[in-house]
Structure 1
Amino acid sequence: MKTALNHTKIFIGDTVANGSVQAVLACVVAHLETAHISCVIFANVNLGGRQLDCIVLTETRALVIEAKGYRRRLRGGPNGPWQVQIAGGEWKGTRNAYLQARDAALALRDAMRAFATDEPPYPTAALVFEPHVPEGSELSGDFKVAILNLDELPTELEKAGPGGWPLARWLAFAQHHRLIAVTDVAAACDPALAKAEELLTSYRKGFVRTYGPLTVDILSSSWKADTGSMDSEEVTRRITLGADACLLGPSGCGKSATAYCAAIAFAQRDGIPIAIAAKNFSGSMKVMLDDEVQQIVDAQARDVIASAQSLNRPLLLAIDGFNECSENQRVDLLRRAAAFGRRYEALIVITSQTSLSRADLLRLDVYTVAPPSSNLKTAIATQAAAGQPLSASAAELLTVVDSCLEARLVGQLGASKAGHASRFDLFDMFVRSRLGELSALGISRLAAIAGWMTERITFSMSIRDLDRTATGGSPPTITASLVTNRLLSIRGDRVSFSHDLFLDAYSAEAVIRVAANDATAVVLALADPIHERRREFILGAINDPVLLERVLAELADAELIDACLAGRCGRRAREWAEVVAERVFEILAEEIASARLTLSGAGMWSVGFEHSTIAWTKQQRAFVHALPARVAAGSYLDKIIELAGHMDRRLVTERSRLRDEASEKKIALRSEAFGAAYVSQHGEAPGLTHISSRLHAGLVPWHREEALGSMLLERLRRTDLSLGQVYFLLALFRRNGVFDSAAATVIGELLDRYWTGAPYHFKLDLMDSAGWCGRADDAERQTLIDRIEALPNEPHIFLSTTVVEALQHLGALEDSADEYKDVVLREVADCLAAPQDPDACARAYSVYSACMDHPYSNAYCAIFNDLAPSERATMLSMAARGVSDSAAFVAPLIVEIAALPNRQVTLVLDRFLTPPGPDSFNLSEAIEVFALAHLAFGQNQLPLHVTEPAEATANTATLGACGRILYWMNRTDLSLAERTTNSASAQAFLEADRAGLTVNCLRLVERIRIEGWTQSAGLPPPVQSIASLVPMAAIALAKRALNNPDLLNGYFKFYNDHDRLNDLIYAVGIVGRLGTTADIAFLRDYVGDVSLGRPAIEAIREIEERSVDGSYERSASPSWG
């Protein structure tokens, strides 16, 4: 129904066909009518060849409005082009909206001057974002153009202007320019906008109706990101506000439900989400989008997308189950998703169990879901059981399951007959409860389908292949029943399991059926990388106790043993594991009782253990490596604490024996012995040492159980604990406890009780724990601060730094941070007063590094970032000259210098072009500094003059050749022929590889972190892969390495077996990245390798992808970026 306008007259040059202009026009009219302000409005008019969105004209003011509907983050100012952040974090150039608004106002004034005889007043301009400026944008304007959210426009309309014309004159102006008078906002707008709004409203309602039921019962999970821990609601909030996201985690832990929640919240904010299942992708994004949209509304995807664009509605593409996409299609899917994001400035959300195979195509914020806690699993099961109390058997089964889906199944089943069940049993019982009399036939059919998919490494199959897998005795009604009961799903002509956990379970069933009671066949299947995610199901699927006993006797895998101890493989497997574990604890105690320390006086650890006389079997060693995960979950706590007490008493005895020798060798025996017993991961260390070190290094799955945390805190209150016992309890409490006021009190008491004379590593751990107590109440927090400040000064730099960091985290330094800015200003002024002085340069580096590592780092950052551009460039240049060879934070310093407008400043980095010494202090940063310096010189088009090391070796020659190639690869000002010619000698040197160092050097250079580089304004993404320059030679080098791993050598002095394995995995990746189908047979020889199997499968997948999309020509040519 139209509403007559009493105070407003609207004229248009043409109907408004843009949703943002429509929204601005509606806002202006509504406010002016309500405020009883007489005015004339021009919309979508052309003056002097320039289109103007909206002009609001009163007796005292002419306001020109440029309307924008951006939904992605923007950055820009009055000068130069603007940029909009597209999917994956990249920035794309876009028109400067500030200049558009300013020039529109000038165009109106020119038209006014041409129409009038007198000099017209200046119109004012506003840049209005509908509904608001995208969150996180960095925009700047000035007095000429106001930058506003739509809800701020009414306030702007109330302001007085520099002058205007009488309304009668504006009416004459409209007549002169042949503008069209319309009665209201609806008449001013293109009818297609109304139709688009109708379509999008219908689509949003249909989307919520389709996916809403999948989120009704969702309970909040815990997630981890680079910015810290958060709940599901925070993940959803970040996505709806514009964060491209990859939701990672194991199957059934709520990734999909969280993605759908975010998509629905996005729709409720007027966004348009489109959800697709990755397993249905067969090469065409259009087919998938059309199929999805047509199941919601009677329209094609292009209609919905076009409507969203016309109304400036943001788009979100949710891709569920990336890991379920056929392996030979995954990169293609990512490419098409990235193209969708770039073309439509759409948000991208992907769920996956595994990291994205080509994360460089889409740089997404990664959120990793934690395994559900006991409380969450209980809540999910209770909810699924319609609120009925869970039986004892159900509660026991919940300790076994690892996912939200399984917890829901426990609740649905009621678990009345599920006591001591394995994970496989849970799915088997569920399927049998659904299929009833058809269970036997249905399970056979599921196993056949899962076996077919596993053999082909795929997650879906065509209808035709489904028919071909049917046996003669399988009636057609079986498939229909599997679909009806939501065990299989059919979309288009593709068939898949309704959830990949069902695929895992029935792949395990297929293994057991094919093995036919052959224990060797089962053992081989457990070792096959193809079944990496299904091994628990395979073990749990074995019902025959004789077969199970034979398989368990061969078991020496720590992860599977952990699954047995946790009960995930069934009652019999758990009982077997518990018996073996008891024996392992006995051996651990025997080992501690006979442990003898030895003093070397050299190397990283000057105190170690003599070779143990205990004869460990391979299986028992695997149990030692499995125990940390069980201890982290709260099992065997008493036994571990008891062993720590035994170890501490043994250390007292050994220190007494070695006191005189340690004094002669100047070894701090108390600290070094404690480190050898609880921190070192040396192979000769006792089993308890390996358990302790893995717990403290975070090498076990993350589970947070607050009930366990409360119990641990009570244990820490005891006054009879030894140092090792406290060390264990603190490690476990950090994983499970709440660092509140109670924790602050206990940790303060531990400081009083143990600090004086405690070993170095113990002090580090205790002080680090103190720093976690920032959430304590003010009184307890201040008491803890007072206790820390009362401690004697620590001479060790790492320990004293940890003390300062703890005080910083507790808020002890906040009040004095602002006061410290005066000190920083004096330091900076002192440096700038003598830019060529070496001592001043060293101080400049100290100022720069203090921005990242100083108690008052915030003060340093504030001052440094506020420097004038020329002063900042001088400080950076001085810092580069003043930094020592072993200093930290050199890599970010190089990036900042390379991004300076004055390219010549980069010349100061020439010292970093020399290959680092093979015994460098910080190995990874030394390579990073070397490579980034070559990138900086290459991208800034500076001449390369490298000073050879004083003692040139094969190592430095090989890395130097990598550096020269890296430099020429990034000289994008030269032609391809010039770059190839200039790097030919370095390429030839690497290809010869006489010292077996090339593969290692290539890997070290390719793995450097370049995130900061790509985010720096003005720097293009660097070309980093040297192997892609010479694909055939790189493949030959990789195959030579894989065939002769013993010939591999490393650049750095302490090259070991772990490094060699990483080089071999990298070599497999080279073949996959650059090879052809002719190389697949070579890779298949490594599929069964325990360490190289999974990388080999991934490499085969990459080659198959290229065989589908025809990209061999691209991969076989030089990659200059």
Structure 2
Amino acid sequence: MENKTIVVEIKGSHLPISGTVNGDWQMQLPNGEKKVIGNYYNQTLNAKHIVKDMITTVKGADTGYPESLLLFQPFLPLGSAIPESDFKVAIKNLNNVKSLNEFKATSGFDFTSWNKFIVQQNLQKVKNSEELFNQDLRSIELHLSRYTANYTRNYEHELQQFVDVELAVGSQTLSSNQFNDLLIAPDNLIISGETGCGKSLLAKKIGNDVINQGGIPIYLEAKYFERLLGPMIDIEVGLLEYKSSRELFKDAISSGRLIYLIIDGYNECDTDLRGQLVRCLLALLRRYLVKIIIVGQERYEELSPLRGQSIMVNKPSDEIKQKIAGQFCDQDTLNALLPLLQSVSSGIEANVIGNLSKFDISEKSRFSRFDLFIRSRLNGSNKSIEILNELAHFLAQKLAFSLSAREADILLSENNLHGNDFEKVVKSGVIKVYGNNVSFAHEEFLNTYIADNIVRKSNNEVNKIISSLSEPKNKKRDFMIIGAIEDLTILHEVLEWTIDYKIIVSCIKKDCGSFAFHWATNKMETLLISISTEIEGIIFQVTGDSMFNIITDPQSLLSWTNQQMAFVIAAKILLQDGYYFEEAIGLINKMDLKIMQATTDLAETIKQRKQSIFSDLFSCVYMSFGRKEIPALTTIVSDIHSSLPFNQIRNHEQIFEYIKSYLSENQTVGYGAFYFIMAFVRYKPHAHILFPYLLDYTAEKSTILPYHFRLEIFDRLPHCWQTEQERLALIDNLNLLSSSNPFTNSSIFEALQALGATEKDELEYQSQAIEEVKRVLNEPDNPQEWTIAYGIYFNQIDHPYGSAYSYAINTLTEEDSKLFYLLALRGANKDMFMPSLICRTENYNFDEYGAILKKWTIIPEKLGTAPQEDVNLLYLSHIMLGRIKSDLISRLNTYSNPWQKTLCATSELLYWVNRPDLEKQELEIKGKDVISYLLDGFSEYSFDAIYQVMHTINYLQFEGKTFIPIERKLPELMLTLARKAIKFASRQKSIYNWHKPNEVVSHAIYKLGTIGNLTDVLLLKNLINDSELGTDAVAAIITLQG
């Protein structure tokens, strides 16, 4: 090391940093804002120059420049963008530095010279690295270590039951053990998932992960938030033996450790306080380097300012459920419980099953399992059960999750229930007391005793139970109510009444107990026989209609009761979970035989080619096209095929094994059966089982395939091959295909693209695309070339060789690129590609940008064939005009039609809301006329016009733009319009003509639940028994009451 001098600048950061060789650097904060920091590159370089000058002074001669190293400890945060190492400054991560041998020696400065340097600079020798830290810092580290140890100890018992869960992050599926990368990333996190999927345990476990990464966790439950965040944090950190939140934050900053604030159960926070909670969090982010992690049942709109990455906690797989239950029983018992575990959908149910493994609960309803579990916790105390019933009844009436301690005291006193019994319930863990609040420890416990209370108070009167089941507020617990009925005569009467497919699904999944299971399976078997009978009797009619050339004769179809149709819908749901798969294939095979016979019969009648007739018949029986009078099997197959995403198939492996077995046992597979199978086997690796069939279908057979079957085949091709030989075989087949139908040819080309067969052609096409761009740039004053420029722009997206056009545009010089986009903007048409171009060109600061946008601000008399795109363009044009602070002359009084006038008012208000130079008070003054029209004129379109703004903004996520919705700056306006929409429900109209009034009111109810307050509960309670809106109203009330 003698004669080698290295100047090391050590930096540490939890958050991404960015910058260049010159100018300030920036740190990206979790709230999306950027904080200016020093230029680390220049700091290192300056230190190098200073050391060089000092060495020269000591030596008395120029020894040359020392080496310099910018070292990040432990590593540069993900998402950072800084210069690469150069000959002036090397940039490395500490964990990548294994040796200093790569740094060159600087001659002339030996150990003797360094001793002289040390004396002159008055440097002090230390025994070890700890002496580099002062006493205060060592004390801080000790306090923080004690805090993190207390956190770990506080949740240690609960976390012993934690089992790894699956997380959906974008298109990826991760295990919770892979959470560390998400903690390192700069974004805040918003974690959501259904009840009972393990979110709360995950939230506490994340705290331990934070500690392991050197961070400081603070865990809070949102339902206890009361307007101020500081006191809430003070209480929590005080319980973990820290003086105050202020001290904790100060010490974390001093030690360079990042604080992670975990807010659990956001959905249980009083909705009246949610906006305040978000504001508190934003204020905290502005003041400190903090990462926020929100945990709740869904991603709520008001959380959008936190700019959090969405993470979904998936329902537990069978393997995870086994691990949960296996904590409470031995392997033999667990093996016996497997069928029961497969029938439940949540982690808490698996926990209950494991705890009750010593009992025979295989035939028990879900209600009975939870009731038995809770009774075992309470040692069978009847008084304790009475307390749970009364608390549940009280909360059901309030539509709330918690009550105050005072309310609980009054309730106990009124029912002669004693405090000692209540303490026993709390000690069991079924009820939680936190501060002044009392609640059930889990929502499923609450549902259990609401159901128990309903059945008890019915006094065995069937009509009362049916009435309770009909109430929207009980829709999420109806299977619990069914399971709580013990009198079989009454249970049978209630089941015979039901026309709710969700109850039928619950019965067949054994959630409602043994009797209900046998009742439902018997009914389903009868239904399947009836569907078979219907297939036998179908008569086909030739209509001559270009869309429906052949239909089923309505007179030949069976008439289904409401309950039977509920079973048809239930069958569709159950098929997705692996039920009745074999029976469905049997019915489809029967339908295939039916249409083959009909093909022969009709060919003799109407003298058309059999292939054309067969294709029409296939579409008739397996696709609904919105027709009302169709066979029951058509309803099932069509709905599954058109709306079944892969992640909704719960028992995918079980279904796949059945499909594999079916295909291996049957040499000939009908078109209908294969079409149905393709709905369940869509992607790699499972889709490979389809390869031999698809290869065959794309050979000579392709000319006789039904049209829609053929399109589905092309869609599966990219996912069915595994080896290069298989891929090339598919490509060879496709290259031999052609069709007179342009849609079929387009599908063939898209399949070839997906198989990578057009890459060479696209590369060869680049030169042509470049020439097209050059021609446009050579005639910038020619309006015809403007239109061509826009065509080239959207060719990137809507052309077979789109990548060639992207290459031609992206390789332009900065000056030519700017000119190209200006010409494209001038020649743009009103279509789906226009919004992306508007966003793309904002930053070019074209002089005529505003003038071009104003062409699209005129309200048409009616929307075109793509109405949503028309509205998106109208709203976006006004938004962008506001962002660039272009003048806008109001057209509000030029329209008399209420629809046009409302759209104009909403668009112009969007303009003012997105003006960056206006504060709220000035915004309200500038937008006074349009606000007045929307509120006081209260057109029937007012609420929906503003509601649709959020859909437009969510859709227009181009070029990283962030637009401001009206409700963010003017929540009072949105709130007032939502209330009026509910009060005057029958008057509501959508700006789109396909929405019904109740859909608009449903949106208003949702919005009121999101941004309203407790005073809105009274308005919503008027709707809780409405057959269409009641469920929405109940959900909003529960949200508002936390």
Normalised TM-score (structure 1): 0.81
Task: Tell me the matched-pair count.
Answer: 1033
CA distance in 1, matches of 2:958, 2:33: 10
Amino acid at match of 1:555: T
Amino acid at match of 2:525: E
Residues 52 and 65, structure 2, Cα contact 8 Å, conserved in 1: no
Compared CA separation, residues 853 and 223, structure 1 to 2 (3 A): farther
Instruction: Name the counterpart of 2:876.
Output: 932
Amino acid at match of 1:874: L
Equivalent of 2:393 in 439, 451, 457: 451
- Any residues of structure 2 matched to 1:493-892 within 5 Å, and which? 493-593=436-536, 595=538, 611=554, 614-651=558-595, 671=615, 673-679=617-623, 680-698=625-643, 701-716=648-663, 718-734=666-682, 738-739=685-686, 741-752=688-699, 755-773=702-720, 776-787=722-733, 789-794=734-739, 799-812=744-757, 824-837=769-782, 840-852=785-797, 864-886=809-831, 888-892=832-836
The answer to whether 1:1086 aligns with 2:1023 is yes
CA distance in 2, matches of 1:932, 1:550: 56
Structure 2 SS opposite 1:765: helix
Compared CA separation, residues 862 and 281, structure 1 to 2 (3 A): farther
CA distance in 2, matches of 1:181, 1:938: 62
Residues 8 and 69, structure 2, Cα contact 8 Å, conserved in 1: yes
Instruction: Name the counterpart of 1:1051.
Output: 991
Instruction: Name the counterpart of 1:422.
Output: 365
Shift of 1:935: 0.9
The answer to which of 165-174 and 994-1003 deviates more is 165-174
Instruction: Name the counterpart of 1:1061.
Output: 998
Shift of 1:630: 0.5
Instruction: Name the counterpart of 1:1024.
Output: 965
CA distance in 1, matches of 2:198, 2:606: 55
Instruction: Name the counterpart of 1:5.
Output: none
Equivalent of 2:377 in 404, 410, 434: 434
Amino acid at match of 1:879: A
CA distance in 2, matches of 1:193, 1:157: 34
Amino acid at match of 1:70: S
Shift of 1:740: 5.8
CA distance in 2, matches of 1:805, 1:262: 44
Residues 744 and 781, structure 1, Cα contact 8 Å, conserved in 2: no
The answer to whether 1:129 aligns with 2:81 is no
Residues 681 and 693, structure 1, Cα contact 8 Å, conserved in 2: no
Equivalent of 2:263 in 319, 331, 356: 319
Compared CA separation, residues 1014 and 820, structure 1 to 2 (3 A): closer
CA distance in 1, matches of 2:23, 2:740: 53
Instruction: Name the counterpart of 1:413.
Output: 356
Amino acid at match of 1:255: K
Residues 878 and 908, structure 2, Cα contact 8 Å, conserved in 1: yes
Percent identity over paired residues: 26
RMSD (CA atoms): 4.4
The answer to which of 175-184 and 915-924 deviates more is 175-184
Compared CA separation, residues 1074 and 208, structure 1 to 2 (3 A): closer
CA distance in 2, matches of 1:492, 1:992: 44
Residues 22 and 42, structure 2, Cα contact 8 Å, conserved in 1: no
The answer to which of 594-603 and 219-228 deviates more is 594-603
Instruction: Name the counterpart of 1:46.
Output: none
The answer to which of 254-263 and 168-177 deviates more is 168-177
Structure 2 SS opposite 1:543: coil
CA distance in 1, matches of 2:429, 2:921: 59
CA distance in 1, matches of 2:800, 2:204: 42
Residues 240 and 266, structure 1, Cα contact 8 Å, conserved in 2: no
Shift of 1:594: 5.1
Amino acid at match of 2:266: F
Compared CA separation, residues 270 and 531, structure 1 to 2 (3 A): same
Q: Which has the higher contact order (CA 8 A, sep 6+)?
A: 2
Compared CA separation, residues 863 and 660, structure 1 to 2 (3 A): farther
Q: Name structure 2 gaps, 5 residues minimum.
A: none
The answer to which of 622-631 and 149-158 deviates more is 149-158
Structure 2 SS opposite 1:274: strand
Compared CA separation, residues 229 and 771, structure 1 to 2 (3 A): farther
Shift of 1:792: 0.9
The answer to which of 361-370 and 112-121 deviates more is 112-121
Equivalent of 1:150 in 73, 86, 94: 94
Structure 1 SS opposite 2:570: helix
- Any residues of structure 2 matched to 1:1008-1019 within 5 Å, and which? 1008-1010=952-954, 1016=960
Residues 77 and 98, structure 1, Cα contact 8 Å, conserved in 2: no
CA distance in 2, matches of 1:686, 1:302: 68
Compared CA separation, residues 904 and 615, structure 1 to 2 (3 A): same
CA distance in 2, matches of 1:431, 1:221: 25
CA distance in 2, matches of 1:973, 1:570: 63
Compared CA separation, residues 230 and 797, structure 1 to 2 (3 A): farther
Instruction: Name the counterpart of 1:74.
Output: 17
Amino acid at match of 1:721: V
Task: For residues 848-907 of structure 1, give each alpha carbon's deviation from its aligned partner in whole angstroms, at most 9, with x where no partner exists.
Answer: 445455666666556644544333333333333444434x33332222222435564454
Task: For residues 684-731 of structure 1, give each alpha carbon's deviation from its aligned partner in whole angstroms, at most 9, with x where no partner exists.
Answer: 333323322321233684414313212113334534333222221111
Residues 880 and 909, structure 1, Cα contact 8 Å, conserved in 2: no
- Any residues of structure 2 matched to 1:327-476 within 5 Å, and which? 327-356=271-300, 358-390=302-334, 392=336, 394-414=337-357, 416-438=359-381, 440-470=382-412, 474-476=417-419
Equivalent of 2:905 in 950, 961, 967: 961
Normalised TM-score (structure 2): 0.87
Task: For residues 1041-1069 of structure 1, give each alpha carbon's deviation from its aligned partner in whole angstroms, at most 9, with x where no partner exists.
Answer: 4455454444345x243xx3331123335
CA distance in 1, matches of 2:848, 2:100: 47
Residues 240 and 265, structure 1, Cα contact 8 Å, conserved in 2: no
CA distance in 2, matches of 1:259, 1:828: 53
Residues 199 and 304, structure 1, Cα contact 8 Å, conserved in 2: no
Compared CA separation, residues 359 and 1075, structure 1 to 2 (3 A): closer
Compared CA separation, residues 978 and 450, structure 1 to 2 (3 A): closer
CA distance in 2, matches of 1:871, 1:742: 50
Shift of 1:402: 1.3
Amino acid at match of 2:672: G
Q: Name structure 1 gaps, 5 residues minimum.
A: 1-35, 38-58, 1106-1121
Structure 2 SS opposite 1:316: strand
Instruction: Name the counterpart of 1:246.
Output: 190
Residues 272 and 314, structure 1, Cα contact 8 Å, conserved in 2: yes
